[in-house]
A and B are shown apart, each in its own frame.
Chain A
Amino acid sequence: MPEQLVFAMEVTLNGLMAGVLYALVALGFVLIYKASGIFNYAQGVLALFAAMTLVGIMQGQVPFSHLINAVFGGHVTHFGWNVPGVVAIALTVAVMVLLAWLVQVLVMKHLVGQEPIILFMATIGLAYFLEGVADLMWGSEIKTLDVGLPQGINLWIDETTFNIFGYGFFIDNLDIVATVIAALLVAGLVAFSQYTKQGRAMRAVADDHQAALSVGISLNFIWVLVWSVAGFVALVAGIVWGTKSGVQFSLSLIALKALPVLMLGGFTSIPGAIVGGLIIGVGEKLFEFAVGPLVGGATENWFAYVLALLFLVFRPQGLFGEKIIERV
């Protein structure tokens, strides 16, 4: 087999795995958008906040310790214990649910019936606010996150491919785990939104508030639920990305990578987020591999956005988005 083709295969595989990670972030956006019509700018920060909280809890950090020390002049930073990963994750989920409730009670509840642009602006404010709170709560230094996910080269794939092609593929174990997690998460979310009473109620609320009320759906409850689920997805994304590249401010910027994914897949489609993520992941890796050397590289920085732009011009609703139907 020609060497170039083998390389291309490895690049494609790695692209698929990167795509899964993009899709993971995009999912959070799709969920909130489908359920409340809000484009949640804070989704990336939500992932950062979740990851920081998880690290903080695991390391037994005292929340707001800087603030406490500054006001009362103490020197407390840690409780002095370490919390095992699983327990810490459970506690973080609880924190995210609490956060969801606070967002609903303090912000969204007061904006019922407002224009989507107002709600969007509110999430921008929320993003900056949360960013500050996260730093104040857990400190702004770069942290490493290790909840026990396997990392490093997968030797079995390396050996197998070496035996077949005479060239060992480099596939990171973490990427494989991320793919499995993402698949489980998506299956769970699809089952939730399609088959459960709460899922149906969620879709109903997204469509028409008044009508939802008239069939006995509590808007407050559904919104807390939606933000909780988004918080949970953010936590999963935060764990995977945080393990991969450390927990730091730039984690919240992964949200930017999710935008082209959404434009490709459509803002309203869960499968769209997956396929969009995969296309962008594979596309940018292959493009870098094939065209990169000709133009001096670094195409990964812009490829996704150019692709998204093309989609906006030729298929604005994305691959799977709902076509806007309106009778006149």
Chain B
Amino acid sequence: MLDNSESYVTEDGRTIGGVVMEMKNITLRFGGVVAIKDISFDIREGEIRAIIGPNGAGKSSMLNVISGFYVPQEGEVLFHGKKRPPMRPYEVARQGIARTFQNIALFEGMSVLDNVMTGRLNYMKTGLFSQALWKGKAEAEETENREVVEKIIDFLEIQHIRKTPVARLPYGLKKRVELARALAAEPKLLLLDEPMAGMNVEEKEDMSRFILDVNDEFGTTIALIEHDMGVVMDLSDRVVVMDYGKKIGDGTPDEVRNNQDVIDAYLGVSHD
């Protein structure tokens, strides 16, 4: 077992650092329903960490706990080794945790560019009046943020739709815009909730490539939820498997693939 601060180098030559985010004995209940039962796992710097499991396993709930949308009844969330007090989602976002949503949450009335720019809101520091008057530091600041945003737009190959209102875009592109907005915040941890849900094979391949490139190019730590087993196994460094709110497996894709509990959960157990 690795120590929390130790780093290692993967087979494809990427360096995985120490633990960024640690979930300790998380339990989340909705009234009588237990969505997450005493789950612990960690996310290391620079890795792609997947959370998988059958429908209703509690994956999205887990992501919502990390991003502050749900507050667990029991357990601790440690970010950079420090215990995180219960926080509002916008406070979590300001700490450098960006996310996308299972059923896309974009600002439909705004252009793609404006949507991605909202990801930079927390980097804008100049005063209200200089921003409104577009003078001095505010102008430099806007230019600076625009450069970051344009770079991300280029990177995700959505230049051609920069000025298009998001509501006009097809599903696959919307997913990409959402990813762009999350990236614009230059997050320390990026959470992707089913980034490939509802996509065709081609779109899935594109998205996989983008996720890998983002991780490679920017060194972004990524935690993602996905249904498609093939995709997950190809993408991720380590996988957490959940079933009925419990953790039934945790390890590299190969370890998880050969875990009997995981096979049972996915294929069912024969009773003979």
In the docked arrangement, what's the CA distance between A327 and B128, Å? 36
Indicate if the CB atoms of B114 and A200 lie closer than 8 Å: yes
- Residues in A whose Cβ lies below 8 Å from that of B98: 214-215
Indicate if the CB atoms of A197 and B131 lie closer than 8 Å: yes
Indicate if the CB atoms of A200 and B132 lie closer than 8 Å: no
Known contacts A192-B128, A201-B118, A207-B107; is-contact A213 B167 (Cβ 8 Å): no
The closest CB in chain A to the CB of B114 belongs to: A200
In the docked arrangement, what's the CA distance between A215 and B89, Å? 9
Q: Which among B121, B132, B165, B170 is the interface contact of A216 at CB below 8 angstroms? A: B121
Known contacts A207-B110, A322-B109, A327-B167; is-contact A218 B88 (Cβ 8 Å): yes
Query: What is the 8 Å Cβ interface bit string for chain A, positions 284-304, against chain B (1 contact, 0 not)?
Result: 000000000000000000000
Question: In chain B between 85 and 124, which residues have their CB closer than 8 angstroms to a CB of chain A?
Answer: 88-91, 93-94, 98-101, 105-110, 114, 117-119, 121-122, 124
In the docked arrangement, what's the CA distance between A201 and B115, Å? 10
In the docked arrangement, what's the CA distance between A326 and B169, Å? 10
Q: Is B218 an interface residue (CB 8 A)?
A: no
Indicate if the CB atoms of A200 and B133 lie closer than 8 Å: no
Question: In chain A between 307 and 328, which residues have their CB closer than 8 angstroms to a CB of chain B?
Answer: 322, 325-327
Q: Which of B67, B93, B100, B170 has the most CB atoms of chain A within a 10 A radius of its CB?
A: B93
Indicate if the CB atoms of B90 and A327 lie closer than 8 Å: no
Q: Which among A197, A203, A204 is the interface contact of B124 at CB below 8 angstroms? A: A197
Q: Is B168 an interface residue (CB 8 A)?
A: yes
How many residues of chain A get a CB closer than 8 Å to chain B's CBs?
29
In the docked arrangement, what's the CA distance between A326 and B69, Å? 28
Query: What is the 8 Å Cβ interface bit string for chain B, positions 121-144, against chain A (1 contact, 0 not)?
Result: 110100010011110001000000
- Residues in A whose Cβ lies below 8 Å from that of B89: 213-214
Indicate if the CB atoms of A203 and B131 lie closer than 8 Å: no
In the docked arrangement, what's the CA distance between A217 and B121, Å? 8
The closest CB in chain B to the CB of A219 belongs to: B90
Q: Which among B119, B133, B168 is the interface contact of A327 at CB below 8 angstroms? A: B168
The closest CB in chain B to the CB of A201 belongs to: B121
- Residues in A whose Cβ lies below 8 Å from that of B179: none
Q: Is B152 an interface residue (CB 8 A)?
A: no
Known contacts A216-B93, A326-B167; is-contact A204 B110 (Cβ 8 Å): yes
Known contacts A197-B124, A215-B181, A216-B94; is-contact A204 B107 (Cβ 8 Å): yes
Indicate if the CB atoms of B165 and A200 lie closer than 8 Å: no
The closest CB in chain B to the CB of A206 belongs to: B109
The closest CB in chain B to the CB of A325 belongs to: B167
Indicate if the CB atoms of A196 and B132 lie closer than 8 Å: yes
- Residues in B whose Cβ lies below 8 Å from that of A216: 90-91, 93-94, 121-122, 185
Question: In chain B between 14 and 36, which residues have their CB closer than 8 angstroms to a CB of chain A?
Answer: none
Indicate if the CB atoms of A211 and B106 lie closer than 8 Å: yes
Indicate if the CB atoms of A188 and B168 lie closer than 8 Å: no
- Residues in B whose Cβ lies below 8 Å from that of A206: 109
- Residues in A whose Cβ lies below 8 Å from that of B131: 195-197
In the docked arrangement, what's the CA distance between A207 and B178, Å? 14
- Closest chain-B Cβ to A202's Cβ sits at a distance in Å of 11
Q: Which of A199, A215, A218 has the most CB atoms of chain B within a 10 A radius of its CB?
A: A215
Indicate if the CB atoms of B93 and A214 lie closer than 8 Å: yes
In the docked arrangement, what's the CA distance between A204 and B106, Å? 9
Indicate if the CB atoms of A215 and B101 lie closer than 8 Å: no
Query: What is the 8 Å Cβ interface bit string for chain A, positions 176-209, against chain B (1 contact, 0 not)?
Result: 0000000000001001100111111101101110
- Closest chain-A Cβ to B118's Cβ sits at a distance in Å of 5
In the docked arrangement, what's the CA distance between A196 and B127, Å? 8
Question: In chain B between 145 and 188, which residues have their CB closer than 8 angstroms to a CB of chain A?
Answer: 165, 167-168, 170, 181-182, 185
In the docked arrangement, what's the CA distance between A207 and B104, Å? 13
- Residues in B whose Cβ lies below 8 Å from that of A199: 132
Indicate if the CB atoms of A213 and B132 lie closer than 8 Å: no
In the docked arrangement, what's the CA distance between A207 and B121, Å? 16
Known contacts A191-B132, A215-B98, A215-B181; is-contact A208 B88 (Cβ 8 Å): no
The closest CB in chain A to the CB of B68 belongs to: A213
In the docked arrangement, what's the CA distance between A213 and B109, Å? 17
- Residues in A whose Cβ lies below 8 Å from that of B107: 203-204, 207-208, 211-212
- Closest chain-A Cβ to B147's Cβ sits at a distance in Å of 17
In the docked arrangement, what's the CA distance between A198 and B121, Å? 9
The 9 closest A-B pairs by CB, nearest first: A216-B93, A211-B105, A207-B107, A191-B132, A213-B89, A196-B131, A197-B124, A325-B167, A210-B105
User: Could you jot down 20 A-B contacts, CB within 8 Å?
Assistant: A191-B133, A192-B132, A195-B134, A195-B138, A196-B131, A196-B132, A197-B124, A197-B131, A200-B114, A201-B121, A203-B107, A204-B107, A207-B106, A207-B109, A212-B90, A214-B67, A215-B98, A215-B122, A216-B94, A216-B122
Known contacts A191-B133, A208-B107; 10 additional CB pairs below 8 A are: A197-B121, A200-B117, A200-B118, A200-B121, A214-B98, A215-B181, A216-B90, A216-B94, A217-B118, A217-B121
